[in-house]
């Protein structure tokens, strides 16, 4: 039953010589190769170990938009299908330095644009709770791998919810650190002002351990800050007297089952001596619209580097313009093309003021309203997702699909730390609660999450049915 163990549990077992480092690694290699054919969580597998440290003997996986030297980094895209990395991302390197072993690179929606892995150019990943359903996205491969116990932890990236939303759909913990705490060097850029790497784990303590390991200033990413927050130190301290705000906007039109599950969360945390109040944050209703102007605008600029000349795929043509056009036409999938078109449109001279500029102003407004609420409350809480995992193909209209991110996007727009923790099952499908706080209050976010996790009790793993 090693697959049920947390990172911490495995470290203990190795320390007390119940298991050797090799035994642990081999166990997970075997389990991964057995279950991956069903789940399709990995795009490539490997066994790479570099350093020695407190994570020696611990396997992990990384989303395939992070560079790992001598491995392919496809970003889930045809345009990078054969692209080999020449260096390793800082966050990945920091984990390798501590002795952990990478077992694979996980599936994602192409260039992290999506919420289901259905937009991966290669194949969709299955949700281990129900293989007819999506694992969420875009870090769906990482989430499925952790939920099914193929690896005890994985890294994902979160631009508008891509760590937290799949964590919610797969019944695990997903933590997005404060913008700037973790280096983005070696993470293929989607929307640079929103992207942040974060861990997917089974427990809140594991999220703190991995979060602490990957953070830190990096000369290769000018947006990193010189701050090392001790996420573990006070994680067990009680939260009595804290005040949590539930945005009124989050509770409107909420699905009844989700509402009931969230009510149970509120009752639970009240037993911890925490006050919970509904608070209006009116500009939140614009968050999705603002995100879908800013993120595609940044993406259209970031993705201009994939031109058939510098990276990856090249479709040979007589003229340079022909190479650009044909390579991008063949190499990018439909969702990526939609975002590039949206982005170039909103950035064009005629529409810049009406869309991009306005979106930036509203982004500032959202940030200041959230900051203001966080002056009088310790955290903002609500369900992570409006629904549980949906079936493949169930949501085909892009606008409905974009609404999946309604609760996760505000934390990215405001650069705030945010964690999703499983809060219950609805028809045997998990759903998470999201806890968000002020910039650099990551320790508080995880402390609240940990307190809740303790009264919630152990969350089940999806080991029923075909996955036995
Ligand atoms: N689902 C969102 C999108 O498609 C968020 C993606 C992400 O966080 N990478 O943009």
- Tens digits of residue pLDDT in 405-432: 999 999 999 999 999 999 999 999 999 9
Instruction: Supply φ then ψ for residue 183, to 5 degrees.
Output: -65, 140
- Beta strands 197-201 and 418-426: pairing type? unpaired
- Strand ranges for 54-97 from DSSP E: 59-63
pLDDT of residue 275: 98
Sign of the CA dihedral with 393 first, then 395, 398, and 401 last: negative
Segment 18-33 mean pLDDT: 97
Per the prediction, the chain carries an average pLDDT of 97
Helix (H, G, I), strand (E, B) or coil at 272: coil
List the catalytic residue out of 120, 162, 168, 451.
Answer: 162
Ligand 1: does its nearest atom lie under 6 Å from the Cβ of 160? yes
Among protein residues, the one whose CA lies closest to atom 5 of ligand 1: 160
C-alpha of residue 160 to centroid of ligand 1, in Å: 5
What are the residue boundaries of the structural domains of the chain, listed by start? 2-242+372-465
Sign of the CA dihedral with 123 first, then 129, 133, and 139 last: negative
Confidence of residue 266 (pLDDT cuts 50, 70, 90): very high
Question: Which atom of ligand 1 is nearest to 158's Cα?
Answer: 8
The residue behind tokens 């209006």 is: 280
Pair 388, 134: CB distance under 8 Å: no
For 52, residues 6+ apart whose C-beta sits below 8 A from its C-beta are: 99
How far apart (Å, rounded) are the C-alpha atoms in residues 172 and 159? 19
Pair 191, 294: CB distance under 8 Å: yes
How far apart (Å, rounded) are the C-alpha atoms in residues 356 and 457? 45
430, β-bridge pairs = 425
277-330: per-residue pLDDT in tens? Answer: 999 999 999 999 999 999 999 999 999 999 999 989 999 999 999 999 999 999
Q: How far is CA 458 from the centre of its chain?
A: 22
How far apart (Å, rounded) are the C-alpha atoms in residues 193 and 185? 13
pLDDT of residue 114: 98
Confidence of residue 466 (pLDDT cuts 50, 70, 90): very low
- pLDDT exceeds 70 at position 21: yes
C-alpha of residue 460 to centroid of ligand 1, in Å: 27
CA-CA-CA-CA dihedral for 269, 275, 280, 283, to nearest 10: -60
55-82: per-residue pLDDT in tens? Answer: 999 999 999 999 999 999 999 999 999 9
What letter does residue 189 receive in the DSSP assignment?
P
Helices (H), ranges, 232-276? 248-251, 256-270
Pair 268, 452: CB distance under 8 Å: yes
Share of the chain above pLDDT 90, in %: 96
CATH topology of domain 2-242+372-465: Amidase signature (AS) enzymes (3.90.1300)
pLDDT of residue 228: 82
Nearest to 63 by CA among 188, 206, 240: 188
Instruction: Please give the model's pTM, rounded to 2 decimal places.
Output: 0.97
Which among 65, 136, 138 is the best mutation to test ligand 1's pocket, defined by most ligand atoms within 8 Å of the CB? 138
Written as six digits, the tokens of 419 are 């964690």
Confidence of residue 463 (pLDDT cuts 50, 70, 90): low
Question: Which atom of ligand 1 is nearest to 114's Cα?
Answer: 4
- pLDDT exceeds 80 at position 467: no
C-alpha of residue 157 to centroid of ligand 1, in Å: 9
Question: Which atom of ligand 1 is nearest to 194's Cα?
Answer: 8
97-129: per-residue pLDDT in tens? Answer: 999 999 999 999 999 999 999 999 999 999 999
pLDDT of residue 468: 43
Among protein residues, the one whose CA lies closest to atom 10 of ligand 1: 113
Ligand 1: does its nearest atom lie under 6 Å from the Cβ of 159? yes
Share of the chain above pLDDT 70, in %: 99
- Is-catalytic flag, 138? yes
C-alpha of residue 402 to centroid of ligand 1, in Å: 8
Confidence of residue 464 (pLDDT cuts 50, 70, 90): very low
Q: How far is CA 116 from the centre of its chain?
A: 12
How far apart (Å, rounded) are the C-alpha atoms in residues 237 and 224? 28
The kind and range of the H/E element at 157 are strand 153-157
In angstroms, how far is the first alpha carbon of the chain from the final one?
12
C-alpha of residue 272 to centroid of ligand 1, in Å: 33
- pLDDT exceeds 50 at position 356: yes
Segment 332-341 mean pLDDT: 98
- pLDDT exceeds 90 at position 182: yes
pLDDT of residue 345: 97
Segment 242-257 mean pLDDT: 95
Instruction: Supply φ then ψ for residue 297, to 5 degrees.
Output: -60, -50
- Beta strands 379-383 and 197-201: pairing type? unpaired
pLDDT of residue 1: 87
- pLDDT exceeds 60 at position 388: yes
């Amino acid at each position: 039953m090693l697959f049920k163990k947390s990172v911490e549990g495995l470290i203990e077992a190795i320390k007390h010589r119940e298991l050797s480092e090799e035994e642990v690694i081999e166990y997970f290699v075997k389990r991964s190769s057995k279950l991956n054919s069903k789940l399709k969580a990995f795009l490539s597998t490997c066994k790479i170990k570099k350093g020695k440290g407190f994570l020696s003997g611990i396997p992990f996986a990384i989303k395939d938009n992070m560079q790992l030297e001598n491995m392919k980094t496809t970003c889930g895209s045809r345009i990078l299908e054969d692209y080999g990395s020449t260096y390793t991302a800082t966050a990945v390197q920091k984990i390798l330095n501590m002795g952990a072993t990478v077992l694979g690179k996980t599936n994602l929606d192409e260039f992290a644009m999506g919420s289901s892995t259905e937009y991966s150019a290669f194949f969709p990943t299955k949700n281990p709770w129900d293989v007819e359903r999506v694992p969420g996205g875009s870090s769906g491969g990482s989430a499925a791998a952790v939920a099914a116990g193929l690896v005890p932890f994985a890294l994902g990236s979160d631009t508008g919810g891509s760590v937290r939303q799949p964590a919610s759909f797969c019944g695990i913990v997903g933590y997005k650190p404060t913008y700037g705490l973790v280096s983005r060097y070696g993470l293929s850029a989607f929307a640079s002002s929103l992207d942040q790497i974060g861990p997917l784990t089974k427990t809140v303590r594991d999220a703190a351990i991995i979060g602490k390991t990957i953070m830190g200033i990096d000369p290769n990413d000018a947006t990193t800050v010189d701050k090392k927050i001790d996420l573990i130190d006070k994680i067990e301290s009680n939260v009595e007297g804290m005040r949590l705000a539930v945005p009124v906007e989050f509770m409107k039109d909420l699905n009844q089952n989700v509402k009931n599950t969230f009510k149970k969360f509120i009752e639970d945390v009240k037993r911890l001596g925490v006050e919970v109040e509904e608070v209006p944050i009116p500009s939140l209703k614009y968050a999705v619209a603002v995100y879908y102007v800013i993120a595609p605008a940044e993406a259209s600029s970031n993705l201009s580097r994939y031109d058939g000349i510098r990276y990856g795929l090249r479709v040979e043509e007589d003229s340079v313009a022909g190479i650009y056009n044909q390579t991008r036409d063949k190499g990018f999938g439909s969702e990526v093309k939609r975002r590039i078109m949206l982005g170039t449109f909103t950035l064009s001279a005629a529409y810049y003021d009406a869309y991009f500029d306005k979106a930036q102003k509203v982004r500032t407004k959202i940030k200041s309203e959230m900051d203001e609420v966080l002056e009088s409350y310790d955290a903002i809480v609500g369900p992570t997702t409006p629904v549980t995992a949906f079936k493949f193909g169930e949501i085909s209209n892009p606008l409905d699909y974009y609404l999946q991110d309604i609760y996760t996007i505000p934390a990215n727009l405001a650069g705030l730390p945010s964690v999703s923790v499983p809060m219950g099952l609805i028809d045997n499908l998990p759903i998470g609660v999201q806890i968000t706080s002020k910039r650099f209050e990551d320790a508080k976010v995880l402390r609240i999450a940990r307190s809740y996790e303790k009264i919630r009790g152990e969350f089940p793993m999806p080991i029923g049915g075909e996955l036995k």
